[in-house]
C-alpha cells in the first residue's frame, strides 16, 4: 500500500494543465510563424510576378528593335541579317507569349537565364489587362509581318513601319500601367497579411493570460486544501495498515521498508523494526529467486506458497500475494499462514490416491475398449493367417456390415476385391516377417467411393513373447490427398498455360486442363468477332478418349442454338459459379457450365461432362473447376491480346516498307527535275542570277538528299524488321570506303570548317558488303560532324589477324553511360531538345549491319570529352543463313527510354 497517491494525482493534474497551457501558446506561436512564412512566400511570389511582368516591356522593345533591324536587312538586301533578326524577333515573340501564359495560368518561365516559378493571376481586372497586353502584342506582330512582306520599293512609304512604332509605344505604356497595378495589389496583400499576423500574436498573448488566471483559481488555490485532505487520508491509511487481519508489507529497492505487526510475527520477528531494511534474500532465503521470477513474468503474484522453519523443528507454510509498480521499484503484498490448509490437503490427496488406484484397476479394460470402439480411425486385429480377430465399429460401417460378428474370422479376400485383398495381405506379411511396425497408404472401398487411408501396422505378442497377430490403425486422409492433387493440378495448370501464347495452342490447352482428372469430356466455347462479320462462338472439343476427340473435331461439334442458350442462361443464373445443366432427355447426366469472365465480361463458356456414374461434384471440386476456368480465361485473353499485337506489329512493318518504297520514286524524279532546272538556269540566266539560282538549287538538293537518307533509313528498318535485308559479300578495301565517304561529305566539311583526318597502317582488305559498310562509316562520321560542336573528328582503322577495328572519335558533349546501350534502339535520340534533325534510325541500322557481318559496335568515352564509336568486324565473315534482321527483332513499342543520335 502506498500513501500520498492523491497528492501525486494532484501534482500530475497540475502538470497536465501547465502542459496544455504551453501547448496552446506554442500553437498560436506556430500559427504566427506560419503567417510569417506566408508573408515571405507571398513576397517572393509577388517579386517573381513583377519581374516577369517587367520583362514584358523589355520583350516588346526588343521585338520592335529586332523587327526594325530585319527591315534594314530587307532594304539593303542583306539576307543573313534579315533572316537572323527575323528569327530573333520570332523567338522574342514566343518568349513574350510564354511569359503572358505563365502569368495567366501560373508555372515556370526563364528569366535572365534562371527558371522563375510564378503563381497564377486570380484578379479579374489583372487578367483582363494581361489579355489586352497579349492582344496588343499580337497586333504588333501582325504589323511587323506585314512590313516585312513589302517590296523594297515600298519600304519608304510602308504604313506598317509607322504602325510598328506606334503600337510598340502603346504596348510599353500599357505594360507600365499593368506593372503599377500589380505593385499596388502586392502592397495591399502584404498589408493584410501583416495585420493578420499581428492580430494572431495579440490573441495568443491574451489567451495565455486568461489560461494563467484560470489555472491559478482552479488549481493552485484548491491545491492547499487537497494537500491537507491527503494528510488526513494518510493518517487513516496508516491506522488501517497496522490493524489489518492479514500481514501487509512493502519492499522498495529490494529491501523491506514497511511491515505491520502481523507480518513481522509470521516472518519470525516480534517487532516490525526487525524486518525493515532487510532484503528479500535475508527473509525468504532460497525462495526469493523463484518469487522474483514469478513477479517479473506478470508484474502480479496472486498466490506464492513458501515453506519456512518454525524454529521448533517443524515447518510452516505461508502464502504470498504481491504486485509490482510500473517503475518496478515498489512491491506491495500480503502474507497469510496456510499451514492448517496444507496439512488438510495432504491428508485428502493420500485418500484420493488410494481411491484412484482401485478405480484404475477396475476400469482400465473398459476405458481401452471404449476408446477403440468409438474412435473415428479404422482399428483391426488379424491373426497370422489373415483372419479378423477384432474390428471396431467404424471399420464395420466402412465395410458395410450390419453386425460385426459376421466379419470375425473372415479374410481380406472375402471382403475386398482381389487386387485390394492381395495388397493388404502383403502389407500384413511384411509386418509379421520384419517383427516391426510399418506405415503405408492403402485405398479401401466405401459406400461413397474409394477412400485413402494412412495405415499404421504393428505386431502383437502373446504371453510367451511370440508374435501371433497384426494390429492396424487406419486414418482417413482422403481429403488431404485430394487437396494435394488439387494443388498439383493448379500448379500444372499454371505451367501449361504459361508454356505458349499462341491462340490456337492456348485454346487446346485450356480445353484439356480438367480432362480426364475431373471430366470425361470438355467443350470450350469462346466468342470471336470476325473481320467485318458479327461475333460467333468458336468451339473446341476435348475428350479423355483421343480417338473420339479426333473424330469429333474432324466432323465438327455442332452445338445447337437451343443447347447454347441453355448454357448461357445457366451461366447468367449461376453468377460466375459452376452450374449443372440438364440436357435432353432429362434423365441424361447433366453438364456443368462455368463462364470464363475476364475484366467483368464473359469471354466464353467452360462446359464439362463428368465420367459416367458421377452425377455431381463436391464443393472443393467446384471451387477447383472455377479457379481453373478463371485461369484459363485469363490465358485465352492474354493469347488474344498477343495475337492482336502481333497483327498490329506486322501491319505497321508492312506500312513502313510500302511507304518507304513509294516515297523514293517521286524523290528520284524530283532530283532529276532539279538537275534539269539547274542546267536550264546556267544556259538562260546571266552570271549573278545563275549563281543565285544555282545556290538555291544546291540548298534544295541538300535537303532532298537528307530526305532521301531518312527514307533509306526507314526502308532499311522495314527490311530489318521483316527479315528481308540481304547482304552481297565481296572484296572491300576499307581506306577506299572511308575516302569515298569523306568525298561525299566534302561540301559539308568545307562549309562547317571541321578538321577531319583518317589514320591507318595501310590497305585493309576484307570480304564485306561494300554499300552497307560505306553506310556504317557514313552514319558514324555524320554523327561525329553533327554532334562534335565543330571540333576535330578522328577516324582510325587497324587490322590484326582476322579482325578489323574501326574507331570514329569526336569531342562533343559525349553520351551518358546509362544511354550507351540504349542509343542503338529504334526512334531514339540521346540528345533531346536540339535543332539537329533525325529520326533516331542511323545507329539502329548501323548496329544491325555490323551484327549481320558477325561484328559488334560499342561506345567509349573520349579522353578530354566526347564520344568514340568502336566497330569490330571479322575479315572474312561467314555468309549468314538468314537475311539480316531476322535474328533479332527489336521492340519498337518496348517503351524503353533509349536514345539514338542519327
Q: Name every residue whose Cβ is closer than 8 Å to that of residue 282 and which is 6 or more positions away in sequence.
A: none
Cα separation, 820 vs 836, in Å, equals 19
pLDDT confidence tier of residue 855, bands split at 50, 70 and 90: very high
> Which range has the top average pLDDT, 348-362, 679-693, 794-808?
794-808
Number of neighbours of residue 690 by Cβ within 10 angstroms: 16
Do residues 346 and 339 lie in contact, with contact meaning Cβ atoms separated by under 8 Å? no
H or E segment at 786?
Answer: helix 770-787
Phi, psi dihedrals of residue 310, rounded to the nearest 5°: -90, 5
Per-residue DSSP letter, 879: P
Minimum mean pLDDT range among 412-426, 566-580, 618-632, 815-829: 815-829
Closest CA to 509 of 645, 593, 634, 610: 634
Closest CA to 644 of 510, 526, 503, 509: 503
Do residues 794 and 809 lie in contact, with contact meaning Cβ atoms separated by under 8 Å? yes
Measuring CA to CA, how many Å separate 220 from each of 5, 23, 216, 229, 582?
A: 18, 19, 5, 15, 87
Grouping H, G, I as helix, E, B as strand and the rest as coil, residue 647 is helix
pLDDT confidence tier of residue 154, bands split at 50, 70 and 90: low
Report, as an integer, the average pLDDT of 117-128: 73
Sole residue written with cell 473424330: 551
Question: How many CA atoms within 13 Å lie on the side-chain side of 704?
Answer: 18
More confident residue, 810 or 717: 810
Question: Is the model's pLDDT at 91 over the cut of 90?
Answer: no
Minimum mean pLDDT range among 320-324, 357-361, 560-564: 357-361
Give bridge partners of residue 684 from the DSSP assignment: none
Average model confidence (pLDDT) across the chain: 75
Cell (9 digits) for 270:
516480534
Cell (9 digits) for 352:
484420493
Minimum mean pLDDT range among 233-247, 267-281, 682-696, 767-781: 682-696
Share of the chain above pLDDT 70, in %: 75
Task: Give 878-899 pLDDT, tens digit per residue.
Answer: 644 334 444 333 332 333 333 3
Cα separation, 369 vs 390, in Å, equals 11
Q: Name every residue whose Cβ is closer than 8 Å to that of residue 559 and which is 6 or more positions away in sequence.
A: 523, 525, 537, 539
Task: Give 421-459 pLDDT, tens digit per residue.
Answer: 888 888 888 888 888 888 888 877 766 667 888 888 889
> Which range has the top average pLDDT, 93-107, 267-281, 531-545, 618-632?
618-632
DSSP string, 101-169: HHHHH-EEEEETTEEEEEPPP--HHHHHHHHHHHHHHHHHHHHHHHHHTS-GGGSTT-HHHHHHHHHHH
Q: Name every residue whose Cβ is closer than 8 Å to that of residue 176 and which is 6 or more positions away in sequence.
A: 57
Pairing of strands 330-337, 378-383: unpaired
Share of the chain above pLDDT 90, in %: 3
Cell (9 digits) for 276:
525493515
pLDDT confidence tier of residue 257, bands split at 50, 70 and 90: confident
pLDDT value at position 882?
39
Question: Is the model's pLDDT at 874 over the cut of 90?
Answer: yes
Radius of gyration for the alpha carbons in the chain, expressed in angstroms and rounded: 50
Q: Is 857 left (phi over 0), alpha (psi -120 to 50) or beta?
A: beta
More confident residue, 338 or 427: 427
Task: Give 517-549 pLDDT, tens digit per residue.
Answer: 888 889 888 887 755 566 678 888 888 888 888
Sole residue written with cell 552570271: 687
pLDDT value at position 376?
77
Grouping H, G, I as helix, E, B as strand and the rest as coil, residue 95 is helix
Cα separation, 191 vs 188, in Å, equals 5
More confident residue, 656 or 320: 320
Report, as an integer, the average pLDDT of 499-520: 84
Per-residue DSSP letter, 456: E
Task: Give 484-498 pLDDT, tens digit per residue.
Answer: 777 777 777 788 878
pLDDT value at position 891?
33
Minimum mean pLDDT range among 9-23, 63-77, 270-284, 848-862: 9-23
Report, as an integer, the average pLDDT of 154-182: 70
Per-residue DSSP letter, 860: E
Cα separation, 851 vs 887, in Å, equals 10
Pairing of strands 330-337, 730-733: unpaired
Cα separation, 857 vs 872, in Å, equals 6
pLDDT confidence tier of residue 805, bands split at 50, 70 and 90: very high
Phi, psi dihedrals of residue 875, rounded to the nearest 5°: -70, -40
> Which range has the top average pLDDT, 167-171, 209-213, 536-540, 588-592?
536-540
Question: Is the model's pLDDT at 344 over the cut of 80?
Answer: no
pLDDT confidence tier of residue 133, bands split at 50, 70 and 90: confident
Q: Name every residue whose Cβ is closer than 8 Å to that of residue 709 and which is 6 or more positions away in sequence.
A: none
Q: Name every residue whose Cβ is closer than 8 Å to that of residue 122 and which is 6 or more positions away in sequence.
A: none
Burial of 577 (0-12, 13-18, 19+ CB in 10 A): middle
Geometric angle at alpha carbon 767, from 765 and 772, rounded to 5°: 105
Closest CA to 88 of 156, 148, 4, 11: 148
Question: Is the model's pLDDT at 325 over the cut of 90?
Answer: no
Closest CA to 592 of 619, 573, 610, 604: 610
The 3-state secondary structure of 601-628, one letter per residue: EEEEEEEEECCCCCCCCCHHHHHHHHHH
Report, as an integer, the average pLDDT of 556-568: 77
Report, as an integer, the average pLDDT of 772-800: 87
Closest CA to 455 of 488, 487, 418, 430: 430
Measuring CA to CA, how many Å separate 394 from each of 398, 445, 478?
A: 6, 14, 16
Question: Is the model's pLDDT at 858 over the cut of 60?
Answer: yes
More confident residue, 1 or 583: 583
pLDDT confidence tier of residue 606, bands split at 50, 70 and 90: confident
Cα separation, 779 vs 845, in Å, equals 9
Task: Give 31-88 pLDDT, tens digit per residue.
Answer: 777 767 766 677 666 676 777 777 777 877 887 887 878 777 777 777 788 788 888 8
Could you give the angle at which helices 770-787 and 842-852 cross, rounded to 10 degrees? 140
Measuring CA to CA, how many Å separate 79 from each of 69, 82, 84, 739?
A: 11, 5, 8, 35
Report, as an integer, the average pLDDT of 659-670: 64
Q: Name every residue whose Cβ is closer than 8 Å to that of residue 164 and which is 6 or more positions away in sequence.
A: 64, 67, 68, 140, 143, 144, 147
Task: Give 394-406 pLDDT, tens digit per residue.
Answer: 887 777 777 777 7
Strand ranges inside 46-90, DSSP E? none
pLDDT value at position 108?
74
Closest CA to 769 of 820, 732, 813, 811: 732
- ω into residue 585 within 30 of 0, thus cis? yes
Report, as an integer, the average pLDDT of 247-264: 80
| The residue count for the chain | 902
pLDDT value at position 2?
44
Question: Is the model's pLDDT at 830 over the cut of 60?
Answer: no
Cα separation, 694 vs 686, in Å, equals 12
Amino acid at each position: 500500500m502506498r500513501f500520498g497517491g492523491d497528492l501525486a494525482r494532484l501534482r500530475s493534474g497540475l502538470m497536465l494543465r501547465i502542459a496544455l497551457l504551453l501547448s496552446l501558446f506554442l500553437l498560436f506561436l506556430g500559427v504566427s510563424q506560419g503567417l510569417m512564412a506566408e508573408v515571405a512566400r507571398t513576397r517572393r511570389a509577388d517579386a517573381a510576378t513583377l519581374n516577369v511582368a517587367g520583362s514584358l516591356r523589355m520583350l516588346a522593345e526588343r521585338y520592335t528593335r529586332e523587327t526594325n533591324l530585319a527591315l534594314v536587312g530587307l532594304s539593303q538586301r542583306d539576307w543573313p541579317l534579315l533572316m537572323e533578326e527575323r528569327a530573333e524577333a520570332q523567338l522574342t515573340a514566343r518568349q513574350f507569349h510564354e511569359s503572358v501564359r505563365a502569368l495567366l495560368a501560373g508555372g515556370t518561365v526563364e528569366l535572365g537565364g534562371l527558371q522563375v516559378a510564378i503563381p497564377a493571376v486570380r484578379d479579374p481586372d489583372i487578367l483582363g489587362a494581361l489579355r489586352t497586353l497579349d492582344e496588343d502584342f499580337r497586333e504588333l506582330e501582325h504589323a511587323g509581318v506585314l512590313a516585312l512582306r513589302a517590296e523594297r520599293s515600298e519600304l519608304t512609304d510602308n504604313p506598317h513601319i509607322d504602325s510598328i512604332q506606334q503600337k510598340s509605344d502603346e504596348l510599353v505604356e500599357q505594360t507600365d500601367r499593368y506593372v503599377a497595378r500589380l505593385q499596388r495589389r502586392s502592397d495591399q496583400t502584404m498589408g493584410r497579411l501583416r495585420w493578420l499576423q499581428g492580430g494572431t500574436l495579440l490573441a495568443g498573448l491574451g489567451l495565455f493570460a486568461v489560461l494563467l488566471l484560470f489555472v491559478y483559481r482552479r488549481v493552485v488555490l484548491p491545491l492547499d486544501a487537497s494537500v491537507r485532505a491527503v494528510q488526513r487520508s494518510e493518517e487513516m491509511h496508516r491506522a488501517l495498515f497496522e490493524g489489518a487481519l492479514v500481514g501487509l508489507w512493502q519492499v522498495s529497492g529490494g529491501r523491506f521498508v514497511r511491515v505491520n505487526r502481523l507480518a513481522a510475527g509470521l516472518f519470525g520477528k516480534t517487532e516490525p523494526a526487525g524486518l525493515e531494511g532487510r532484503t528479500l534474500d535475508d527473509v525468504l532465503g532460497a525462495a526469493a529467486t523463484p518469487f522474483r521470477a514469478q513477479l517479473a513474468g506478470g508484474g502480479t503474484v496472486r498466490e506464492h506458497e513458501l515453506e519456512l522453519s518454525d524454529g521448533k523443528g517443524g515447518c510452516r507454510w505461508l502464502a504470498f500475494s504481491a504486485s509490482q509498480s510500473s517503475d518496478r521499484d515498489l512491491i506491495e503484498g500480503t502474507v497469510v499462514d496456510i499451514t492448517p490448509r496444507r496439512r488438510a490437503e495432504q491428508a485428502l490427496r493420500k485418500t484420493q490416491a488410494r481411491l484412484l488406484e482401485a478405480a484404475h484397476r477396475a476400469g482400465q479394460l473398459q476405458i481401452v475398449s471404449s476408446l477403440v470402439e468409438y474412435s473415428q480411425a479404422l482399428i483391426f486385429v488379424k491373426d497370422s493367417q489373415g483372419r479378423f480377430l477384432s474390428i471396431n465399429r467404424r471399420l464395420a460401417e466402412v465395410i458395410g456390415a450390419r453386425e460385426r460378428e459376421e466379419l470375425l474370422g473372415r479374410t481380406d479376400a472375402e471382403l475386398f476385391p482381389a487386387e485390394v485383398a492381395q495388397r493388404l495381405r502383403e502389407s500384413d506379411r511384411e509386418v509379421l516377417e520384419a517383427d516391426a511396425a510399418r506405415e503405408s497408404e492403402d485405398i479401401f472401398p466405401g459406400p461413397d467411393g474409394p477412400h485413402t487411408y494412412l495405415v499404421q501396422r504393428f505386431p502383437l505378442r502373446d504371453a510367451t513373447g511370440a508374435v501371433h497377430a497384426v494390429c492396424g490403425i487406419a486414418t482417413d486422409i482422403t481429403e488431404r490427398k485430394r487437396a494435394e492433387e488439387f494443388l498439383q493440378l493448379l500448379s500444372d495448370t499454371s505451367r501449361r498455360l504459361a508454356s505458349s501464347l499462341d491462340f490456337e495452342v492456348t485454346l487446346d490447352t485450356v480445353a484439356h486442363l480438367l480432362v480426364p482428372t475431373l471430366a470425361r469430356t470438355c467443350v470450350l466455347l469462346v466468342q470471336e468477332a470476325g473481320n467485318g462479320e458479327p461475333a460467333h462462338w468458336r468451339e473446341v472439343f476435348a475428350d479423355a478418349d483421343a480417338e473420339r476427340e479426333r473424330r469429333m473435331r474432324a466432323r465438327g461439334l455442332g452445338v445447337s442454338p437451343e443447347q447454347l442458350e441453355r448454357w448461357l442462361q445457366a451461366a447468367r443464373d449461376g453468377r460466375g459459379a459452376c452450374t449443372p445443366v440438364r440436357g435432353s432427355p432429362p434423365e441424361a447426366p447433366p453438364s456443368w457450365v462455368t463462364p470464363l469472365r475476364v475484366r467483368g465480361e464473359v469471354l466464353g463458356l467452360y462446359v464439362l461432362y463428368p465420367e459416367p456414374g458421377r452425377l455431381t461434384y463436391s464443393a472443393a471440386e467446384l471451387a477447383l473447376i472455377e479457379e481453373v476456368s478463371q485461369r484459363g480465361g485469363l490465358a485465352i485473353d492474354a493469347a488474344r491480346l498477343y495475337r492482336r499485337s502481333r497483327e498490329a506489329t506486322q501491319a505497321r512493318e508492312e506500312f513502313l516498307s510500302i511507304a518507304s518504297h513509294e516515297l523514293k520514286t517521286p524523290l528520284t524524279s524530283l532530283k532529276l527535275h532539279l538537275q534539269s532546272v539547274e542546267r536550264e538556269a546556267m544556259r538562260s540566266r546571266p552570271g549573278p542570277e545563275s549563281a543565285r539560282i544555282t545556290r538555291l538549287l544546291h540548298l534544295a538538293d541538300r535537303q532532298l538528299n537528307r530526305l532521301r537518307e531518312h527514307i533509306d533509313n526507314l526502308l532499311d528498318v522495314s527490311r530489318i524488321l521483316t527479315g528481308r535485308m540481304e547482304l552481297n559479300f565481296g572484296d572491300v578495301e576499307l581506306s577506299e570506303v572511308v575516302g569515298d565517304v569523306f568525298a561525299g561529305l566534302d561540301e559539308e566539311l568545307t562549309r562547317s570548317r571541321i578538321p577531319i583526318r583518317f589514320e591507318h597502317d595501310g590497305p585493309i582488305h576484307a570480304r564485306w558488303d561494300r554499300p552497307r559498310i560505306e553506310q556504317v562509316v557514313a552514319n558514324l562520321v555524320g554523327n561525329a560532324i553533327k554532334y562534335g560542336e565543330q571540333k576535330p573528328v578522328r577516324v582510325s582503322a587497324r587490322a590484326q589477324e582476322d579482325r578489323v577495328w574501326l574507331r570514329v572519335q569526336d569531342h562533343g558533349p559525349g553520351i551518358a553511360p546509362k544511354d550507351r546501350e540504349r542509343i542503338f534502339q529504334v526512334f531514339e535520340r540521346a540528345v533531346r531538345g536540339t535543332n539537329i534533325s533525325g529520326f533516331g534510325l542511323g545507329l539502329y541500322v548501323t548496329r544491325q549491319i555490323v551484327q549481320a557481318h558477325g561484328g559488334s559496335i560499342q561506345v567509349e568515352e573520349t579522353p578530354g570529352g566526347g564520344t568514340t564509336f568502336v566497330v569490330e568486324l571479322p575479315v572474312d565473315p561467314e555468309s549468314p543463313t538468314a537475311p539480316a534482321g531476322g535474328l533479332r527483332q527489336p521492340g519498337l513499342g518496348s517503351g524503353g527510354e533509349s536514345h539514338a543520335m542519327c
